[in-house]
Amino acid sequence: MKKIGIIRCMQTEDICPGTTDFKAVKEGNLAFEETGPGEVVGFVSCGGCPGKKVIKRAEKLVEKGAEIIAFASCMKKGNPLGFPCPHFAQIKEAAEKNLKDKVIFIDWTH
Ligand code: SF4
């Protein structure tokens, strides 16, 4: 069973508790179809715009055992508001550059 860390949009915290993210990990479907049912080891926000705290927060998730870090769909897809993160490409690039040897990133959850 893979250990999953999830990073979500801080701007979305007020309107989404992440229920579908947890369900997708538990059931091993949607973004987790290839890896199968997993265990969430941490669920954190990006820390707010423009998302520079993601690197440190991703490192913390790796410390806690994350083998995969998923960027919740509020970031790239803008769920549930249809308002994607304008910084997502830069956040993802920086995270992958800094942690590419330590963890696999996926850019959606559901
Ligand atoms: S940087 Fe992107 S993901 Fe983070 S709070 Fe701002 S809009 Fe949301």
Nearest CA to ligand 1 atom 3: 9
Of the CA atoms within 13 Å of residue 28, those in its CB half-sphere come to 9
Which ranges constitute the DSSP H helices of 1-110? 19-27, 54-63, 73-76, 88-99
Domain extent, residue 69, equals: 2-106
Ligand 1 center to residue 73 CA distance, Å? Answer: 12
Q: What is the per-residue pLDDT across 6-49, written as a single tens digit (0 to 9) for each?
A: 999 999 999 999 999 999 999 999 999 999 999 999 999 999 99
Overall number of domains in the chain: 1
Q: What is the per-residue pLDDT across 61-85, written as a single tens digit (0 to 9) for each?
A: 999 999 999 999 999 999 999 999 9
Strand order in the sheet with 2-8: 38-45, 2-8, 68-71, 104-106
* 63: CATH: 3.40.50
If one counts every other C-beta atom within 10 angstroms of the C-beta of residue 31, the result is: 21
Distance of alpha carbon 16 from its chain centroid, rounded? 14
- Read off the pTM: 0.96
Is residue 11 lining ligand 1, measured as CB closer than 6 Å? Answer: yes
Average pLDDT over residues 85-102: 96
Mutate to test the pocket of ligand 1, among 43, 46, 107 (most ligand atoms within 8 A of CB): 46
